[in-house]
Amino acid sequence: MSILVDRTSRVLVQGLTGREGSFHAEAMKAYGTTLVGGVSPGKGGTSHLGVPIFDTVADARAATGATVSGVFVPAPSAADAIMEAAAAGIELIVCITEGIPLWDMVRARAFVAEAGVRLIGPNCPGLVTAGQAKVGIIPNHINRPGPVGIVSRSGTLTYEVIQGLSQASVGQTTSVGIGGDPILGLSFSEVLALFKADPQTEAVVMIGEIGGSDEERAAETVIARGFGKPVIGFISGRTAPPGKRMGHAGAIISGNRGTAQSKVDALTGAGARVCDTIEEVVEAARAAIGERAFS
Closest CA to 1 of 230, 173, 202: 173
| Residue 104 identity | D
Say how far apart CA 150 and CA 128 lie, in whole Å: 10
Residues near 116 by Cβ (< 8 Å), separated by ≥ 6? none
Q: Measure the CA–CA gap between 30 and 50, rounded to whole angstroms.
A: 12
Known catalytic residue at 248: yes
Alpha-carbon dihedral sign for residues 219, 258, 178, 147: negative
Distance CA 189, CA 220 (A): 9
Helices (H), 178-255: 188-197, 214-218
The four Cα atoms 197, 200, 162, 170 give a dihedral, to 10 degrees, of 140
* Exposure of 30 in the CB half-sphere (CA atoms within 13 A): 12
**CA proximity to 49, closest of 70, 69, 25, 73:** 25
Angle between helices 102-115 and 75-87 (to 10 degrees): 10
- Catalytic residues, which ones? 248
